[in-house]
Structures are given as C-alpha cells and as structure tokens.
Amino acid sequence: MTSWQEELKNAITNSAGLACALGYDPAAAEAIIARYPMRITPYYLELIKKAGEPLRRQAVPDLRELEDPVGMEDPLGEENLSPVPNLVHKYPDRVLLLVSGQCAMYCRFCTRKRKVGGEALRFSEEHFVAALDYLRNTPSVREVLISGGDPLLLADERLEDILRRLREIKSIEIIRIGTRTPCTLPMRITPKLCAMLRQFHPLYINTHFNHPAELTKEAERACTLLADAGIPLGCQTVLLKGVNDSAEVLGKLFCGLLRLRVKPYYLMQADLTKGTGHFRTPIKAGLEIMRQLIGTVSGMAVPKFVLDAPSGKGKIPLTPDYITAMQEGRLEFVNFQGLPCSYPLE
C-alpha cells in the first residue's frame, strides 16, 4: 500500500489530469475547478473506474455546480455563529472547531464548498489560541467537534498538539473528530496515528461513507485500526441523488458499516449549499427510504434521518409518520408492515 503522502502527491487536481484519467472535457473542468477545487486520490480514482457513476458523481466536477440558483454560500449560517475565527458555536454545550482547509478528496456536494481547498479556511496558531481562550471562558461547552476540511490531513504531531491543548481545558469532556479519510484515503490511518489518538479518550470519530462500493478491504483495515484503539466510530451519510437514493443501496451500506464496527449515525438530507442542487432529493424520498429500512434491517443499522436547518437552526429529525390517531385514551398507529396497532395513552 502506498503512503498517504504519496497518494496526495499523485492526486488529480487539474483539468489536464482529469482529462487524462477519465476523458473529461478539460475546458469544462477548468471552469468549475477555478471556483470549486478538485482533488481525487489515485485510490479513489480506481474505485471510480470499478464502481462507476455513484462514485464518479461524488468526486468529478459537474457543470451544474455553476448553475444552482437556489443554493446558499453558507447554508448553515456558520459565519454568523462564529465568535472567533474557525469556531462555530451553534448548540449550548458543544462547538465546531475547523482546523484544516484541506481534504483528501473535495466532495462535490460539500457543505463548505465556499471554504475548503483554497485560502478561505486557514487555521493558524493565532486562530487556535483565540479558540482556546474562548473555550476556557465558556465552561458550558463540554464537547468539541474537530473538523474542517479534514483534520487527519494534518501531520500526527500537529493533530496531537491540538488534542493535548484541548484536553488541558477541564470543562471539555468529549472530543470528536470528523474525517472522511477512512473512505477516501484509508492509508492515512496508521498504527502510529491510532496510538497517538488513544491517549485522548473519550475520543470519538465520525467518518463518512456514501456507497457500499466504498467499503473496501483498505477501508476495513482503517476502521479496524481505529476501533481496536478503543475509538467509537460513527458514520454520517449524505442522501445524494444518483449515488445512494434507494433503500437497497443504503441498506447494503449500513449493514456493511456495522461489519466494520462503524455505527450508522446520521443520514443527512443534502444541505442547501450553492453548487450542489443536482444532488438534492425530495424530502418524501428520504422518508420513504427510511420507511423501507425500519423493521427490515437491524435497528443498529438504521441511522437518524436529519435535516440541518438553514441559518444555523440545528439538526431536525425526520421520521416516517406511523401515528394515525390519538383519541379515546389510545394511541392508534401502524407498524413497519402497515398493520394497525393500538396502545393506551396513559
């Protein structure tokens, strides 16, 4: 297996490389990449060649990214919820800390298309000191989610420094890391990295797989190393048109994740991010998928279906409607098979 540094060095980042690898029109690619950067690792390129369209759509620029009149630059209102640079405080007891503007692959549906891959998201020592000061002065914050970009694109030593300094703040109880490297750059997960991470428990990792074709032997090895280091793993999957918008595909993905010791955590309705309109599915489609999954696969394999409300109003669970009536002291509902049921209200 090549090193993760070599994978990044050999990644496709320009229109000429994309044309050579996948026969993509270089002029079209150039126009999109000029606005939204591209990076495709050799590892993920080989998966695209094997699996085709569902993986290609996630990685390869599409002219529709430049034709999205509905989307917003900052759909979750993160800039307005940022008391210091690169720290977002949306919920009372937890914050989001953006420590990297780089990713192994720039997903075409990314909610931070406005920031990643360029100079818009820079994380300096000055920014980190300001974030630490904010956290020390806000003891109600007990949990920090480290994200970006991808935190695991940082060197082990830099990431260790960030984790250690966060752990020195007594009010911080839980640290989470959001990373897609087990999917797009699995060779980044090394025994050395895992030995470092296990120093900072309770530490959780949420990763991101969208299609069963991404559950490779390399991904399994990466997840196994992390799980064996005692790190609980969750997965945040995005519901994407033409990628995974069927119960059959998602059921296979979620059951496969459990075999890798990764708990399906969220199924996310795609955000209203500018340049991603061609990925968004109707809300009804997601609800119907959840209806088909619930009761037909293990409850452990069923994530919450959520919508991250615009303007930073938080995640809203979306659940199929099973209740038919509440009357005469009884709850009337149907089960996953559509069969009527009743239960006393009190």
Annotation: binding site for [4Fe-4S] cluster: 103, 107, 110
CA distances (Å), 330 to each of 72, 333, 337, 340, 342, in order?
44, 10, 20, 13, 6
From the CB of residue 282, how many other CB atoms can be counted at a distance below 10 Å?
11
Beta-carbon neighbour count of residue 182 at 10 Å?
29
Comparing CA positions, the residue from 184, 179, 187, 178 lying closest to residue 211 is 184
Q: Measured in Å, how far apart are the chain's first and last C-alpha atoms?
A: 60
CA distances from 261 to 140, 222, 228, 276 (A): 32, 11, 10, 30
CA distance 286 to 159: 36
Give the Å distances, CA to CA, from 334 to 266, 288, 325: 24, 15, 10
Going by the annotation, the residues of the binding site are: 103, 107, 110
Which uninterrupted H or E stretch holds 102? none
